[in-house]
Structure 1
């Protein structure tokens, strides 16, 4: 791998703005020249994959704004306390870890505004945990198993979050309260079906109390089972300012769900197939939305609904307080 190190050194000496090192060395160890970690010009750096990266004790990347980590094993807290600490203007951080142990469990940066953490196929333990300290963060994208604990979680400026947390039987009693509190000030929340199921499990089995989402105005929600759908009424009660509700398809599991009266103004249904059952669910949702102004139906692929059915749908569901069905 010496030739890779030589190429990187030459590139850095020429003042490049971007370096992408994505290799799979035979011995699992990636040795990068010290010059890479002291570049004054580097703006974007990508390191990977499935290797242990030897980070020097001194890192100074004064121009780096985007850092992408692809399945890299770090010693202890080297990611945050050494590498990220040496990036004073870092704005975007992407940490992806697939099928490898010892993924980062502590992510801290005072400057990042966009953070994506994607852990797939990684082994977890009974007391696996994760903490975040990113007071300037605006956008957060997180995919992982629901862990034993999240403490602390400091997202003082967060506006939007995408959460995809999956239940894992190895963690008998996941505690996601810290994560929920950490994202409770957001304005836009996207929950995957797996997240709905996992959060609902934590509510019903482990006594999780959701915080108030007092600033939430847009919620994207879906579930593949009835347990997950039971979370929706609870979330709506905790979101007094919600204006836009995006439902990731109406399916059979919504039949027994009674949502509370709410202030939603825009209802957006994805994957609509035009079935009688869906129409029934749609009417039920609309009937509980006191301020509804707009309904948007986005048809599933390969589904064709003729104009007559659209007109009938409009007639059956729209009252004077609803502006349009798109």
Structure 2
């Protein structure tokens, strides 16, 4: 026989009869699971309690009931709350949790209570206290569930998810009206102020959520609209805090042991509970008062209408172990508002921060600059149809494909500025942008090491190097400190080139510059052998800075002979000597 039965009502009025007959025909003494979803068309007279009793009598381990009908909430038989075999229990929607007598659920590990109602506070307390080994609890509150305080006191609990979102739509609508409409009635504002939750500091239980679960490792709180008290939580590994409007130092202190914190700071946290001028001070004071001694990862998502910089600074100062910081809203909110110019420079010591995917699909972005502790992660196809200017300064990349996707997503990119990071995860930096007109590239890392250990390249392998340029529209090229092999192709319209310290040029490299009109060349020893082979047919201005240790006169003569249109020559080896001296 089938050890597990699942029934989902898809609109049939006979579903109740079908379930009852199926349970009668199922003769096996053991029933592993009974999953039932009843829709709005099911008759009200079906005996759901009888199905529960049938499953309990067969030592059921997994029981999941979802009642979506419009009947009054249904009370289940008392035997449900004394089932010693039950491991998984999910109760959803039109169910009345009535635990009027002592209960015992010695095997229960996973409990879900979704939009149910309770006979009273005592029913919830008895249900949870009857589960001595409960590990996982998921709660979605009902708007009118008959509870004033939702108390979770479970010594064994390790993971807790709580969502009290029945006020969500109403509150969000009020916030939108406040932003979009200037003429808000005075009595509406006063009503919000007057309805603030008052918490007596001597009465810890005056609120909607009380958590006392010392073994808790994972905490997820969403839309906790009333006062929240958390006690005895010293081993917390992860916390997801999303829209808790009334935090105080007690609440934040309860999170002080967390290792991974995901904090969503919304306008309601500041404006609803503390609408007067002291609101920001209160939030700042809370953040300043708590030390997060174990915090390693902070995912910070502030609402774009919140003045959050000062609270964040205090959080960072009080998190000595922090390694990873991710801030969502800077980019996400800017993208959602059709931003044209974005410039981020992260100088902290935390690990590089990745930005949301929406950054790389922003169709309004014209100028983008990313600097320092930023991880460029373009894992999926990108699209930046308006991007003209791109700066990548000392960032790191997830992989070479991330760079390729970023550049290929910019069909009209004109200007690219790159400062390479010492460990940016790239072997080859490829610039293949057909529209690009100006490129600045600086790779000034590991200078001493490269000089001492010259790199040998296979001439038949064009891609064995750090820089490959294939941008046929390029007009301005600036190369500084290119310490590995450099390959340049398809550059027939070059107007200006600044070449400073490219230790390993060959005839291919210099030939790529043959179309240049204005050339500024820092001439090094390694360039000597290539000078006689290249003709600079368009060169008009030549700024020549020879290394003081190079015998440069003969190479210069070859360069002059191969530049028939040259009009201006500047030789400035004194400047280079002073530069080397510094």
TM-score tier by shorter-chain length is 0.7 to 0.9
What do the CA deviations read for 1:243-288 (whole angstroms, capped 9, x no partner)? Answer: 11223251549999999963302312113237455x34x32xx3xx
The residue matched to 2:79 in structure 1 has which SS? Answer: helix
Q: Mean Cα displacement is larger for which, 217-226 or 304-313?
A: 304-313
User: 1:38 Cα deviation (Å)?
Assistant: 1.0
| Unmatched runs of 5 consecutive residues or more in structure 1 | 168-173, 287-291
Q: SS at the partner of 1:186?
A: coil
Aligned partner of 1:40 in structure 2 is 84
Q: Determine if contact 2:116/2:141 at 8 Å carries over to the other structure.
A: yes
Matched position secondary structure for 2:286: coil
Per-residue CA distance 1:188-224 (angstroms, 9 max, x = gap)? 11123xx244456566153542212121111112234
**2:159 pairs with 95, 98, 114, which one?**
114
Match of 1:171 in 2: none
Distance 2:296 2:305 in 1: 25
Task: Determine which of 315, 318, 338 is the counterpart of 1:238.
Answer: 318
> In structure 1, which of residues 212, 216, 236 is the aligned counterpart of residue 291 of structure 2?
212
Identify the residue that residue 85 of structure 1 maps to in structure 2: 129
Structural mapping, 1:121-270, within 5 Å: 121-122=166-167, 126-127=197-198, 128-147=207-226, 149-165=227-243, 167=245, 174-192=246-264, 195-199=265-269, 204-206=280-282, 208-210=285-287, 211-227=290-306, 229-230=308-309, 231-248=311-328, 250=331, 251-252=333-334, 262-270=348-356
Higher RCO by CA contacts (8 Å cutoff, separation 6 or greater): 1
Change (3 A) 1:188 1:257: farther
Partner of residue 460, structure 2: none
Distance 1:321 1:155 in 2: 39
Conserved in 1, the CA contact under 8 Å of 2:161 and 2:220?
yes
Distance 1:260 1:62 in 2: 52
| Whole-angstrom CA distance in 2 between matches of 1:43 and 1:248 | 38
Match of 1:56 among 96, 100, 107: 100
Task: Judge conservation of contact 2:75–2:95 (CA < 8 Å) in 1.
Answer: no
| Mapping 1:272-287, distance limit 5 Å | 272-273=359-360, 275=365, 279-280=368-369, 282-283=370-371, 286=372
Aligned length: 306
TM-score by length of 2: 0.46
> Is this contact kept in 1: 2:215–2:233, CA < 8 A?
yes
Secondary structure (helix, strand or coil) at the match of 2:294 reads coil
Please provide the CA RMSD for this pair.
3.6
C-alpha distance 276-256 of structure 1, shift in aligned 2 (>3 A): closer
What TM-score do the two structures reach when normalised by structure 1? 0.78
Structure 2 stretches lacking a partner, 5+ long? 1-44, 169-194, 199-206, 385-404, 428-582
Q: 1:52 offset after TM fit, Å?
A: 3.0
